[in-house]
A and B are shown apart, each in its own frame.
Chain A
Amino acid sequence: MIDFISINNLTKSYQTESGEVTAIEDISFNVKRGEFITMAGPSGCGKSTLLHIIANLLEPSQGTVNIKHDRSEKNQLSELGLVFQKSILFPWCSVIDNILFPLELLGQKKGGRERAMKLIELAGIKGFEEKLPHELSGGMQQRASICRALIANPSLLLMDEPFSAVDALTRLKLTTDLQRIWEEEKITIIFVTHNIEEAVTLGDRVLVLTARPGRLVWEEKIDLPRPRGRKTAAIKEFQDHCGTIYEKLGF
């Protein structure tokens, strides 16, 4: 069977004033449809670069990305959705208009409201849809930006350290809720983080990357039961998974 996403020998190098810098080197992996993939590694391991290449926002120097999109799927308007480290909602429009923004770009804003309201409820920010972003807490802003990423029914959601700017308790809650959203929406997620525990909590598989150049050194399969939350962290297998990953990163 051909996998949903196959990434083959990706290399990306940049020309800088001090010579050539390789951000990622010879990275290959496959992703099945509906899988929750987390990528963990220290800063400078090229996680963001990799995500940008998968999102087709950046050209790789070598290698290919193949995504088998199924256009017939649930009136999909966009193949992928993107969530950034910061929520980057537009300060000038309401939460719901922010969420509908992708549809506005695609000329499909009409009829999107119902879908938006469903996502708003799923993400737990009901009642805040007419507020301006600055009236929301950081965690709620990030929930809104997840709704925005999902509005066009993508089959793939790319998340670039989305919870790194919120406090620990909010992060815990977002972690739980993201798993619920993932199950409900039946999407594939590639989630980048520098937090090993977060990667193990969320992922079906954790891809471990080392820095300079970014290389894929290990793949940790996580079989822990879902939903995973605070209590999962107390399970011995969880700690073993984390331990293995830390070891692979040289700690």
Chain B
Amino acid sequence: MKYIEKSKIYSVLIILVILIVWQLFVKLMNIPVYTLPSPTDILSSIVNQRTVLLKHGLSSCIAVIEGFIVGGTIGIVLGVLLMYHEILNKALMPILVFFQTMPKVAIAPLIMVWFGLGDLSKVILASTIVFFAVMINTMDGLRIQPEYYNLARVYKASNWQIMMKIRIWHALPNIFTGLRIGTTLAVIGVTVAEFVGANEGLGHLMVLYQAYLKIPHMFASIVVLSIFGYLFYELLRIIEKKLIPWYREE
């Protein structure tokens, strides 16, 4: 416990040092605010723009969480299905990989055309990125050592029993790895969607601020988005610790 607390103090110290150096650098070198605002400039932007940031931030958050849930669910279900059904696996996997290698940023404008400038497009873009990471990790976790199979087969277990009583449990740590990666991917997906075209959200806000050269405000948006992404990731880690206590202690 001591060790963890110590590491947290170090993290905070490192961030403080970076902020102070940044602040001094900007002020002493007289760097114009439209090139690089100082941390205090950014802070005052956050305070000034709090209602706008909150409104758009909330819109982004909701889209991120929705995209994460949709993508995560599809990823887990598809992972289980593909590992359960070998023919389906062989048939679908190349298609899924091909689809995944397509740059999502490039298809973002198309998704906007098809599904409009609202929430739906953001969720679709985010979930298409999230699901693959979750699916691949789920599939990895569902592979079990032959001894587990043999044990189950001695008691004439069906494939479905082996899936539900052994493989899913075995996969939980991997599923959570996928989901943790998924949180950051969901943020990226939603932000890209908002850049390309949306009428709400922090990404959308940044495009507006950029047009007016409000650089400190842009930084403010990034900070808010990053803080949310970080908290989301940490939340997943806490849930993981509670849900699969055996894993970390092993």
Contacts and interface: CB of A to CB of B under 8 A. Distances in A.
28 contacts: A55-B150, A57-B153, A57-B154, A78-B154, A78-B155, A81-B154, A82-B150, A84-B147, A84-B150, A84-B151, A86-B147, A88-B145, A88-B147, A88-B151, A90-B170, A91-B246, A91-B247, A92-B169, A92-B170, A92-B172, A101-B165, A102-B155, A104-B165, A105-B152, A105-B161, A105-B165, A132-B246, A134-B250
B154 A90 contact: no
Contacts of A105: 152, 155-157, 161, 165
A152 interface: yes
A64 to B, nearest CB: 20
Contacts of B250: 91, 134
B166 interface: yes
Nearest to A135: B249
Contacts of A104: 165
B81 interface: no
Contacts of B170: 90, 92
A164 to B, nearest CB: 14
A135 B67 CA distance: 39
Classify the secondary structure of A's interface with B.
loop
Contacts of A92: 169-170, 172, 244, 246
B99 interface: no
Classify the secondary structure of B's interface with A.
helix
A169 interface: no
Interface in B158-182: 161, 165-166, 169-170, 172
Contacts of B172: 92
Contacts of A102: 154-155
Size range of the chain B interface in the assembly: 20 to 34
Contacts of B10: none
Nearest to A104: B165
B148 interface: yes
A101 B161 CA distance: 12
Nearest to A103: B155
Contacts of B155: 78, 102, 105-106, 152
Interface string A61-103: 0000000000000000010111010101011110000000110
A-B CB proximity, top 9 nearest = A105-B155, A88-B147, A105-B157, A92-B169, A91-B246, A102-B155, A84-B147, A134-B250, A57-B150
Nearest to A133: B246
Contacts of B157: 105
Contacts of B249: 132, 134
Contacts of B150: 52, 55, 57, 82, 84
A116 B117 CA distance: 61
